[in-house]
Structure 1
Amino acid sequence: MATPSRLGLLRDPDFGRLFAATALGQLGDRIIFLALPLVAIMALHADNFQVGLLTAMTTAGSLLVGLPAGAWVDRMRKRSVMISTDLVRALILLTVPVAWWADLLTIWWLYAVALFHGILTVFFDVAYVSYLPHLVGRSNLVEGNSKLSAIRSVTSISGPSVAGPMVGLVGAPATLLLSSAGMAMSGLLAITIRKREQKPESSERPQLVREIKEGLRYVLQRPALRAMMLGDSIFNLFLVIYQTMLLVFLEREIGLSSFGVGLILSGMGCGALLGALLATRISKRVGHGPVIWLAPLVTCPLTVLMPLARPGWSLCVAAIGLATLSLGGVVRVVAQSSLQQALTPDRLLGRMSATSRFVSWGGIPLGGVVGGALGSGFGAAATLWIGAAGMTLSVLPNFLSPLRVMRTLPTEKEPELVG
């Protein structure tokens, strides 16, 4: 696919449609990130442990269906999976304001919504990662990932900045109407993408267990893929421990309103946007492998500023620290996603993505529970310290792997190992 101008891939109509669909879907997703916990905290008066359990339910889908999702998605057209999961997620989110207005909403209802929404998100994300190489070609992976990360970062800014005032005006349950609308519009836009995939060839008797093992073996036998997966698992575990108590800390210990919390999260989105804009340049200068461990090493320690913060200027400094964390996170993810896609053959993309997600996201539900338990036992501020320390230590697997010196993307996929 030729990309002859500054717009690059955005000149391609199909990529433009995926770009717009990503914007709408991610806007809905970022509103969920703020509004769903606030439904529990403000509308249902949930305690710290219940908020942690809600976070766990949101991400439990990776643990429950992470591995089979890859094998199933590899048998299907990825675009169709993206469309159907977007539309069904929109319907599930719609039940929260409906239940609230009917005076039926309970914490258990939120748990169920979070669980089923999270399961569908696993299928969407696996299909999304697997679809991009087909749509843009492998030579354009870094640019494609960078542009999509940029629009996700924009929504990270606009989502909380929209959701915060909306929660204040109409309440957290009604704010989820915006999330539902964003998901639905994303699915409808994806329908308009014209480039069609060929349906993957499948054997007469597909064997799910064998296909899952093949994906696992492919990832585990490659040191670079294995290190990225392990580093992600440590980072995500402690990030969720941190995030679980972040909203509680801001709302209950700092005393911020929903609008103030939205501003903090929007600041993180600003950092993410800057990271997306700089990701390609930084990766080329530092190297695609080294940037994967250098970015978190430089930015994760700054998260200790938040538990030290008090209302006033120190909170502003802590917010800058969180924005810097987001910047480093996006730089790392762009380089990492491009490297994973470049190393993996087309027929295994779904299983590679699902295997990596299963291991790296599998501990997230545990992180939500542990974060809630630590918050209940030691307080929100102490939990933030623990999360910051763990995120910083996540650089070790990547530093101790071939990524330490892997400066460029491979031009050819690695051969598939037998046995």
Structure 2
Amino acid sequence: MKTTLWRVRSFRDLWLAQTVSLLGTQITLLALPLVALLLLDASALDVGMLAAVEFLPVLLLGLPAGAWIERLPLRPVLVVTDLLRALALLAVPCAVWLDALSMPVLYAVAFAVGLGTLFFDVAQLSFLPALVDEDRLVDANGKLELSRSVAQLAGPSSGGLLVQAFTAPVAILVDAFSYLISAVFLLTVKGDRHAGGPEPSAGLRREISEGMRFVFSHPLLRPLILCAAIAELAFAAVLALQVVYAADILRLRADAIGVVLAIGNAGGLLGAVAAGPLAKRFGNGTAFLISIVLFGGGAVMLPLSAGPVTFTCGLFVVYVGVVIFNVLQVSLCQTVTPTRLLGRMNSVFRFVTWGMVPLGAALGGLLVAPIGLRGVFWIAAILTVVSLLPPLFSPVRTMRDEDIADAPEEIAEPDSALERATTGETP
């Protein structure tokens, strides 16, 4: 019988680091837009753009990030990015105390936090397979998603109470310290190594193209990345505007908004616990489809809500499905991807999926004026339902464990003029 992952110190320390930083991040998820709304009288468009700016680094650096990380020792990358995010967030209370707070300052902070999060996430996903065995990746990712769900449950309610009692800048200060604590835990993680990528002489453009070709030629990864991209585009608008919706449409106070978001996010706890058993009971393919149906159905409930109960239930169902999908998708990607391509595979997924977030958040903010908040939420719901189509009409639908084991790990050769031009190869 294998030792529980909680007794594997390196994994446990990584889990602790993530849990602490995510708790603080969830506080800021509520506090940062409230800083804009309460202290700067920001509009819905301003808040939407604030969410968009945080994901702008993904569009600018998402693809090369994986290749760069594969050349670096992973643990220092995690520590440095935690420190970067802590310093960025400390700028907000400092700006308030110096009477220098403005939307450009908040945009700069959001960009720096997004930059650190991009490199941290790609490095962490590439680091995990070095800490646990392949057959325990679903368990490990489930535990990491569980900590994310716990943070999403406790963070918004704590953030709402902190904002109500001590103001939003103080809540953001708490998040800054959480990143410092996370960095301390990461210093104790053993098993530090490079991601195992190619030699720098291979050329950055060729390395990026190799990673993209692997993901988009893979029969299992391609439909999943398309599904995730559509869902991220849709739900980015909801995440950017959920606080505004709760405040303006549902007429809730800051502390009540925190409770609503916390209870809704609690669905992630159920999703994290259910992902493994669901895959074992019905198979990976059916489990993927169930997860998509869940977050699509929850998204439809949101624009139908006229009060906090329905809105909370919709968020709850969304997060059950999202977390099941995330656990299965991340574990599948880590299993079928060669070690030397882990950084680039993760960066391609982050570039394509997180790259949809600033676009979705910005479009959501722009559409509020012509069609209203409820109209934006209806468009998001329809797109989320559409995200089911790529996996439904692909090998993912009938995927079993043996299909994952037999999935191709080699990279297809460039078969188009565009791919050959990108890699610099000649026919």
The answer to whether the superposition gives a TM-score over 0.5 is yes
| Residue in structure 1 matched with residue 391 of structure 2 by the alignment | 398
| Residue in structure 1 matched with residue 288 of structure 2 by the alignment | 292
Mapped contact 2:69–2:195 kept (Cα < 8 A): no
Q: 1:179 is matched with which residue: 175, 195, 201?
A: 175
Matches within 5 A, 1:131-210: 131-197=127-193, 200=196, 203=199, 205-210=201-206
Q: 1:347 is matched with which residue: 336, 340, 361?
A: 340
| Residue in structure 2 matched with residue 127 of structure 1 by the alignment | 123
| Residue in structure 2 matched with residue 389 of structure 1 by the alignment | 382
Q: Quick one: structure 1 residues 253 and 3, their matched pair in 2 at CA, closer, same or farther if it must change by over 3 Å?
A: same
Q: Quick one: structure 1 residues 344 and 307, their matched pair in 2 at CA, closer, same or farther if it must change by over 3 Å?
A: same
Measure the CA separation in 1 of the matches of 2:204 and 2:106. 32
Mapped contact 1:264–1:319 kept (Cα < 8 A): yes
Report the alpha carbon displacement of residue 122 of structure 1 after superposing the two structures with TM: 0.7
Mapped contact 1:14–1:194 kept (Cα < 8 A): yes
Measure the CA separation in 2 of the matches of 1:375 and 1:198. 45
| Residue in structure 2 matched with residue 371 of structure 1 by the alignment | 364
Report the alpha carbon displacement of residue 298 of structure 1 after superposing the two structures with TM: 3.0
Mapped contact 1:301–1:389 kept (Cα < 8 A): no
Q: Residue type of the partner of 1:414?
A: P
Matches within 5 A, 1:6-405: 8-197=4-193, 200=196, 203=199, 205-311=201-307, 315-405=308-398
Q: Secondary structure at the match of 1:289?
A: helix
Report the alpha carbon displacement of residue 202 of structure 1 after superposing the two structures with TM: 5.2
Q: Which string of whole-angstrom CA distances, capped at 9 and with x for unpartnered residues, describes residues 81-115 of structure 1?
A: 11110111111111011101111010111111111
Q: Secondary structure at the match of 2:255?
A: helix
Measure the CA separation in 2 of the matches of 1:121 and 1:171. 25
| Residue in structure 2 matched with residue 411 of structure 1 by the alignment | 405
Report the alpha carbon displacement of residue 30 of structure 1 after superposing the two structures with TM: 1.0
Mapped contact 2:70–2:198 kept (Cα < 8 A): no
Mapped contact 1:294–1:395 kept (Cα < 8 A): no
Q: Using the TM superposition, name which of 294-303 and 67-76 deviates more.
A: 294-303
Q: Which string of whole-angstrom CA distances, capped at 9 and with x for unpartnered residues, describes residues 277-334 of structure 1?
A: 11110111122122223212133223333333334xxx21331121111011101110
Q: Secondary structure at the match of 1:223?
A: coil
Measure the CA separation in 1 of the matches of 2:329 and 2:190. 28
Taking only the aligned residue pairs, the percentage that are identical comes to: 37
Measure the CA separation in 1 of the matches of 2:157 and 2:184. 25
Measure the CA separation in 1 of the matches of 2:105 and 2:370. 26
Report the alpha carbon displacement of residue 206 of structure 1 after superposing the two structures with TM: 4.6
Q: Residue type of the partner of 1:379?
A: G
Measure the CA separation in 2 of the matches of 1:196 and 1:369. 38
Q: Which string of whole-angstrom CA distances, capped at 9 and with x for unpartnered residues, describes residues 215-271 of structure 1?
A: 011111112111111111100000012222221110112111111111111112211
| Residue in structure 1 matched with residue 2 of structure 2 by the alignment | 3
Mapped contact 1:303–1:318 kept (Cα < 8 A): no
Mapped contact 2:268–2:322 kept (Cα < 8 A): yes
Runs of 4+ in 1 over 4 A off after TM superposition: none
Q: Secondary structure at the match of 2:306?
A: coil
Give the number of equivalent residue pairs.
412
Q: CA RMSD in A?
A: 1.6
Q: Quick one: structure 1 residues 157 and 377, their matched pair in 2 at CA, closer, same or farther if it must change by over 3 Å?
A: same
Report the alpha carbon displacement of residue 356 of structure 1 after superposing the two structures with TM: 1.2
Q: Residue type of the partner of 1:258?
A: A
List gaps (5 residues or longer) in structure 2. 414-427
Measure the CA separation in 2 of the matches of 1:198 and 1:233. 29
Measure the CA separation in 1 of the matches of 2:204 and 2:273. 40
Report the alpha carbon displacement of residue 342 of structure 1 after superposing the two structures with TM: 0.6
| Residue in structure 1 matched with residue 416 of structure 2 by the alignment | none
Q: Secondary structure at the match of 1:415?
A: coil
Mapped contact 1:225–1:340 kept (Cα < 8 A): yes
Report the alpha carbon displacement of residue 19 of structure 1 after superposing the two structures with TM: 1.2
Report the alpha carbon displacement of residue 415 of structure 1 after superposing the two structures with TM: 3.1
Measure the CA separation in 2 of the matches of 1:355 and 1:201. 15
Q: Secondary structure at the match of 1:196?
A: coil
Mapped contact 1:40–1:46 kept (Cα < 8 A): yes
Measure the CA separation in 2 of the matches of 1:399 and 1:324. 20
Q: Residue type of the partner of 1:326?
A: Y
Q: Which string of whole-angstrom CA distances, capped at 9 and with x for unpartnered residues, describes residues 132-177 of structure 1?
A: 1011121210110011111111111111111001011111122101
Q: Using the TM superposition, name which of 342-351 and 193-202 deviates more.
A: 193-202
Report the alpha carbon displacement of residue 204 of structure 1 after superposing the two structures with TM: 5.9
State TM-score, norm by structure 2. Answer: 0.93
Q: Residue type of the partner of 1:43?
A: L
